[in-house]
Structure 1
Amino acid sequence: MMANLFSSFDPSTNMNLSLNWLSTILFFLFIPSMFWLIPSRMNMLWIKIIMTLHNEFKILLGNTNIKGSTLMFISLFSIILFNNFLGLFPYIFTSTSHLTLTLSLALPLWLSFMIYGWINNTIHMFAHLVPQGTPPILMPFMVCIETISNMIRPGTLAIRLSANMIAGHLLMTLLGNTGSMLSIYLINILIIVQLALLTLELAVSIIQSYVFAVLATLYSSEVN
């Protein structure tokens, strides 16, 4: 019996071993088959998505001298997208709904960008703290505001992803638990609403993985 509604998101609730985190690497079962089978429509669609992301990230980075610079962000998009999709299947743990995973993705990225920027482009990083055209009297306040906004970036990245994943799953769980108390007519309406929510969650899964990867790309382009 669950102690509360949020305990359904706790990997230690259902069993003594935290085997639920194995869902994070389930996408390794699907990706390799694409490289050994005859290219299908799904494979061509995935290649098209990757090439589109590559061209977009290359524009955002603005530095084409480094070969393969977009590979890290495409891989980041892929792992978040697969985990978001797998979390929509019954009895598969949604690892991206936990700050443990999302912070593990956002914090090392942000920290590496900051270390690289402050070591190699110190003047450029100082210039980012004061937006162009700021009056001299407001410069100390702008430095404080820009510093705080820079410090909370990994937190906002992580919380945005996990909160969006939790919100949709929580709403579907709340509506699903009311099914046993409804009449046959209301159950039909409930099923339609649940299907609509599932479609919305599919869209949210794509959008949130894209937003995470794009924001990480933008943060990296600021340190060059």
Structure 2
Amino acid sequence: MLLKITAMLALLLYTCLLVSASDSDPLQDFCIPRPELLPLFVSCKNSSLVTVDDFVYSGIKVSGDASKTGFSSIPVSASAFPGLNTLGMSLVRADFEPGGINVPHYHPRATEVAFVVEGRIYSGFVDSENRVFAKVLDKGEVMVFPKGLLHFQMNVGEAQATIIGSFNSQNPGLVRIPSAVFGSAIKEELLEKVFGLNDRELAKLRKKLLTIKV
């Protein structure tokens, strides 16, 4: 009996930890942060000072500047769009030149839903068993990338492509694999063994990857 109770308590604790790891539910209709206190988000505007403009954002009408990979993104978080504050969501506009790529990456705190506004995008993710789920998406189609899983995109059409991504977190986070592996302080010896490269080859690979703005 004691063992059974202990197991139940452990399960309850684990469930509580999972719940606490998600964005918390708002305690009021909205909370527009006071501009002078950004980016701390520690206090809300008086509701009498809130206007409709606090809930409208115009910053993704046009695409951003493309990188060497033919990709540009405009993230829209509560820092840029205060109306999102405490609502547990954020979004991004992503544009791809023909052949442009969004390098393999993941969001540690959010699931993403990607909607193809224009173009044809080869899109997919890799699960924890290294299975790839990928296909070409056409205009109007939607794909979901489960929380924390590696995913990627590439424009396989002949014209520019655009995606709107939506996240179920105010702060989804972003980890790009090339930068995380080669732009961090991981020991050279470990990377040499992982990739089967000598120090000169590794330095060449690092220089090539990290000079590409993604």
Q: TM-score, normalised by structure 1?
A: 0.24
Larger fraction in helix: 1
Structure scoring higher RCO (CA < 8 A, sep ≥ 6) equals 1
Larger fraction in strand: 2
Q: TM-score, normalised by structure 2?
A: 0.25
